[in-house]
Structure 1
Amino acid sequence: MAKLTEANIAREANSSSFERGYSYYQDGYVLEITQRGEQLTAEVEGSGYRPYQVQVTVQSGKIVSANCSCPYDWGGYCKHIVATLLHYIHEPSTIERQTPLTTLLADLTAEQLKQLIIQVAAENLDFVRAIERERQWTKVLPT
């Protein structure tokens, strides 16, 4: 299995984002980082009122996808993604490990899954909107 390195991260970010992300990592701006299977999620301090939300998927040492809630749009990874990935490779023991969602849901019946979705949706409007979006996509996709 290939190992994720600083060089891999630097190739995916412009030099300014990499440098700023390195500073964010060193200054402790990565507030919370969790790994659930191949998915990393992190909260990273930034210039906004709330921390930015980062999601990265790493498979076999390669970055498959990386997203951040910040408004960065100048090519490559933003500083928050860079900080998250640097934290991931340099401080793996500080990452909270969680059971993958597929494993958590594997032994539930269809009725239990339905009830779980209804309960979570009642507590989280964004979850309801995400379900609505996905249902719209499944209506337009060929079967």
Structure 2
Amino acid sequence: MDVTEDTVRGVCTDAVFERGERYLAEGRVCEIHRVDTTVTAVVSGSRQYDVRVDLAADEFAPRCDCPYNGPGTCKHVIAVLLQCVDDRPPDEGARLDAALNGTDIDELRAFLREELVTDADLRDRFLARVGASTRRSVDELRTSIDRRFEERNPEYDVVFEPSDFTQWFNLANEYREQGQYASAATVYRALVESLDDNMERVDGAYDHFSSAFSRALDGYVDCVAATDRDADAVTNAVEYLDERATSGTPFLAEHFERAAVELRGKAGEQSCE
């Protein structure tokens, strides 16, 4: 996707575009880097916000951990995109490739292992990439997801700002790309349960949490349906969705009911093939 002022305007409202222009003019974009078409940056607002965009993706696939939940993307993303229009950061991809190509394989393996030992998120994604199924249960995954709610507002039960669930969505997507649908379904189910059980605490950025819930629920249904035509897995998942419809957050009940109907339909389509 071409990065021009017009294409940037197309992913936000006029008001947000103006705020993004002001942020850029005020020098709030810092620590900006580019590898291939992926740009990461830190934007200074009421606090420091992490921004990532893909200059080649449809609508730039923006990600920011700010609380914005309006139409289009936020002013932090717009400020970064506008900097890329005027002064795109140099591509560090070639330098990275040269360093990788010039590194001894044993040294690289040792470095990677050191990082995998201390970074659980990276370790999970690495194991998923090489085709290993998850050994973590829904409850184990939920523990770390639930912690994200607590980290945002440790002194209050109410959640005012959005939480970043990217690492779990990335992990689920990695499993899907490797055909590990049961493992992906486990991650999605952990997200669904955590979001369902914490939704009534949300008092701000509701659209953000609702969107994450819908994305996780859709992913769960798709992955269960793709689990090697496992009839028992589908039956258990439908029972789970039906149970959640009655025991979970009341205003999410219709989403669980619709997901159960959709999964039954997908199972029926598969049985006829």
Instruction: Give the structure-2-normalised TM-score.
Output: 0.42
Match of 1:16 in 2: 15
Rg comparison, structure with higher value: 2
Match of 1:54 among 27, 51, 60: 51
Question: In 2, are the aligned partners of 1:36 and 1:101 still within 8 Å (CA)?
Answer: no
TM-superposition CA deviations, 1:63-100 (whole Å, max 9, x none) = 441111112111211000000011111123xx243126
Give 1 or 2: higher strand fraction: 1
2:61 alignment counterpart: 65
The number of residue pairs the alignment matches comes to 137
Please list the CA deviations of residues 17-56 of structure 1 after superposition, one character each: whole Å capped at 9, or x if unmatched.
11111100111000121111111011110112xx111111
* TM-score normalised over the length of structure 1: 0.74
Can you give the 5+ residue segments of structure 2 that lack an aligned partner in the other structure? 135-171, 183-226, 229-273
Larger relative contact order, structure 1 or 2 (CA cutoff 8 Å, min sep 6): 1
Of the three residues 95, 98, 103, the one matched with 2:92 is 98
Q: Which has the higher helix share?
A: 2
Any runs of at least 4 consecutive aligned residues in structure 1 with deviations exceeding 3 A, and if so which? 104-114, 121-137
Q: Among 73, 84, 87, which residue is 1:88 paired with?
A: 84
Cα gap change, 1:82 to 1:114, in 2 (>3 Å): same
- Would you say 1:117 and 2:112 are equivalent positions? yes
> What RMSD over aligned residues (CA atoms) do the two structures have, in Å?
3.3
SS at match of 2:17: helix
